[in-house]
Amino acid sequence: MNDLRKSERLNSKIVIEKMFAGGSSRSFSVFPLRVVYMPVDSLEASASILVSVPKKRFKRAVKRNRVKRQIREAYRKNKGELKQLLTEKEQKLAIAFIYLSDQLTSSVEIEEKVKLLLARMAEKVA
Alpha helix positions (H), 22-106: 61-78, 80-89
Taking only the tens place, the pLDDT of each residue in 32-47 is: 999 999 999 888 899 9
Q: What is the mean pLDDT of residues 95-106?
A: 96
Query: Residue 126: its pLDDT value, please?
Result: 81
* In the chain, domain spans: 6-121
- Residue 1: band (very low, low, confident or very high) from pLDDT cuts 50, 70, 90: low
Give me the helix-helix angle, 107-125 and 61-78, nearest 10°: 50
SS3 115: helix
Q: Shortest CA distance to 12 belongs to which of 38, 50, 39?
A: 50
Q: Model pTM?
A: 0.94
CA distances (Å), origin 47, targets 4, 31, 68: 11, 22, 17
Is CATH 3.30.230.10 correct for 6-121?
yes
Q: What is the pLDDT of residues 63-96, one digit of tens each?
A: 999 999 999 999 999 999 999 999 999 999 999 9
Given a contact cutoff of 8 angstroms between Cβ atoms, the answer to whether 83 and 121 are in contact is no
